[in-house]
Amino acid sequence: MSPNNVGDAEFCKCNTIHDEIIAKVSEGMLEKEQFEKLSMFFKAISDETRIKILYSLSISKMCVCDLAALLNMTVSAISHQLRVLRAAQLVRSEKQGKVVYYMLSDEHVNTVFGNAIEHIME
């Protein structure tokens, strides 16, 4: 294997800087805070338990007790994972009487999650 190739990966062998490409990408570059939020989003969904919670909530809103029973985990463990998902603005809660239900925060989360599932099923 040559130093410029790793497996089937190809590497650029030119020394030319493509100023028009750099300018185009630079114009659309996100702000530092936006990259931090995006990083937090991907960190939040990088855990298998949190993925299971998101999947469950993509089907129906649920309380912590129901999620704990479904995933065979403690209420405390589910609550901890929900805190991470709330901090990343992926889930929200709604109190109905004495019960607090969790659901995906908005349709964007449902769309991203649905697209990811569709992608892995290909």
Q: What is the mean pLDDT of the chain?
A: 90
Domain boundaries, the chain: 47-121
Residue reference for tokens 């020394």: 15
Nearest to 89 by CA among 32, 49, 47, 37: 37
22 pLDDT more than 70: yes
Stretch 4-9: mean pLDDT, rounded?
A: 57
Q: How confident is the model at residue 6 (pLDDT cuts 50, 70, 90)?
A: low
DSSP 42-84: HHHTTSHHHHHHHHHHHH--EEHHHHHHHHT--HHHHHHHHHH
Stretch 39-60: mean pLDDT, rounded?
A: 94
Contact between residue 56 and residue 68 where contact means Cβ atoms under 8 Å apart: no
pTM value is: 0.79
pLDDT at 113: 84
The dotted CATH code for 47-121 is 1.10.10.10
Return d(Cα 49, Cα 77) in angstroms, integer. 10
pLDDT tens digits, residue range 74-122?
999 999 999 999 999 999 999 999 999 999 999 999 999 889 989 999 8
Residue 110 neighbours by CB under 8 Å, 6+ apart: 58, 104
Return d(Cα 5, Cα 26) in angstroms, integer. 28
pLDDT at 8: 65
